[in-house]
Amino acid sequence: MNGIMNDMKKDSTTVFGFWVYLMTDFVLFASLFAVYAVLHANTFGGVGGKDIFNAPFVLIETIILLTSSFTTGLALLAAKAGKKWWVLILLLATAALGAAFVSLEFSEFSTLVLEGHRWTQSGFLSAYFTLVGTHGLHVLIGLLWMVALMIAIIRHGLTQPNMRKLLLFSLFWHFLDIIWIFIFTLVYLFGLL
Amino acid sequence: MNTRTYFEDVGAWPAAEGKPHLVWPAYVLGFILSLLLTFAAYGVVVYHVLPVSLTYVIAVLIGLAGIQFLVQLVFFFHLSAQHAARERLIILGGTIIIVGILLSGSIWIMFTLDQRMMPSATQMTHYMDTQAGI
C-alpha cells in the first residue's frame, strides 16, 4: 500500500513537472507571437495576410483541432472507466483528426511556396511560417507520441505508466489547442480584418 | 493503482469528495462553448455581424479568445482553486505575467522606435533654426 502511495506521489510530481514544461513552451510561443506582431506589416511589397489567408479553410482546421481535443478528453474518461478498447478507438480518432490537421496545414504551406510566397520573401512570411510551423511541428510530435502510446496500451493495457502517459499526452494536446486558438484569432482573423 | 481514481489521485482532476464527479459534462460543455466562441469570432470577421469600428472589432476578438482560453483551462485542464491545482495555477499566473511583458513590451518598443532615435544632422539644424533663442 505504501509503495502504491509513493508511486502516486511520484506521478503527481511528474504531472506538475510536465505542466512546468508546458509553461516554458507557452513562453516560446509568446516570443514567436511577439515576432509576428512586430513583423506582420513588413510585406516588402509582397503578399499580406489578406491576400493569402482563406477563412473557411482555417475554420475547418480549427474545428478539426477542437474536436480532437474533445476526443482526447473522452479517451481519458474511457481510461477512467477501464475500457481499454474505447481508449484505443478514441486515441485513433484523435490521431486521425490530428493527421487531417497536419495534412491541411502542409497543403496550405506547399500552396504558398509553389505560388512563390516563400519564407525568404518578407518579414511577414518569415514570422508567419515560423509561428504556424512551430505549432504544426508540435502537432506532428503529438501524433508520433500517440502512436507510441497506442502501442504501449495494446501491449500492456491500462497500467499505471500508461495512465500517466495518457494524462501527460492529453495535457500536451489541450495545450496545442489553446495555442491554436490564439493563432486562429491573432494571425488569421486579424489578418483578414 | 485504480484506473477509476487515478486522475484524481495524481491531482490532475478535482477530487470527488462525496459529490459525484462532473468531468464528463465538463468536456461536452467545454467543447460546445469552444465551438460557439470560434463561430462568434469567425462571424465577426467574415460576416461583419457587428456594425462597429475596427478598434471595437479587435477588442471583441481579443475578448472572445480570452474567454475561450479560460473555458479550455477550466473544462479541459480542470483547473480550480483546489489544493492540487493551486500550484499549477500559481505557475500559470507567473507565466501569463511574463508573456504579457514579453508581448506588450516588444510591441511597445518596436512601434515607438522612432521616438527614441537620435535625429539626423539636417533635422537637428532645422530644429535649431526654427527654435527662437538657440
Nearest to A163 among B1, B45, B88 (CB): B1
Classify domain A21-192 by CATH architecture: Up-down Bundle (1.20)
Closest CA to A71 of A96, A34, A37, A44: A96
Regions of chain A where pLDDT drops below 50 = none
Q: Which residues of A touch B107 (CB under 8 A)?
A: 34, 37-38
pLDDT, position A6: 83
Q: Which residues of A touch B41 (CB under 8 A)?
A: 184-185, 189
Residue recorded with cell 539626423: B120
Give residue-wise pLDDT tens across range B71-127. 999 999 988 878 778 889 999 999 999 999 999 999 999 999 888 887 788 888 888
Residue recorded with cell 527614441: B116
Range 164-183 of A in CB contact (< 8 A) with B = 164, 167, 171, 174, 177-178, 181-182
Contact A171 B77 (CB under 8 A): yes
**Could you give the CA distance from residue A108 to residue A114 in angstroms, rounded to a whole number?**
10
Task: Tell me the domain boundaries of chain A.
Answer: 21-192
Nearest to A66 among B23, B35, B87 (CB): B35
The answer to whether residues B45 and B57 touch, using CB atoms and an 8 Å cutoff, is: yes
pLDDT, position B120: 82
DSSP letter at B78? -
Q: How far is A51 from chain B (nearest CA, A)?
A: 14
**Could you give the CA distance from residue B58 to residue B70 in angstroms, rounded to a whole number?**
19
**Could you give the CA distance from residue B48 to residue B70 in angstroms, rounded to a whole number?**
25
10 Å Cβ neighbour count for A145?
Answer: 16
Q: How far is A114 from chain B (nearest CA, A)?
A: 26
**Could you give the CA distance from residue A61 to residue A65 in angstroms, rounded to a whole number?**
6
Closest CA to A149 of A88, A104, A108: A88
CA–chain centroid gap for A86, Å, is: 22
Give residue-wise pLDDT tens across range B12-60. 888 766 554 567 788 999 999 999 999 999 999 999 998 889 999 999 9
**Could you give the CA distance from residue A22 to residue B88 in angstroms, rounded to a whole number?**
11
Residue recorded with cell 512586430: A38
Contact B24 A77 (CB under 8 A): yes
- Burial pattern A48-72, b for ≥16 Cβ within 10 A else e, equals ebeebbeeeebbebbbbbbbbbbbb
The answer to whether residues A36 and A49 touch, using CB atoms and an 8 Å cutoff, is: no
**Could you give the CA distance from residue A164 to residue A153 in angstroms, rounded to a whole number?**
11
Cell of A41: 506589416
Residue B63 has pLDDT above 90, yes or no: yes
DSSP letter at B115? G
Give Cβ neighbours of residue B70 (< 8 Å, ≥ 6 apart).
none
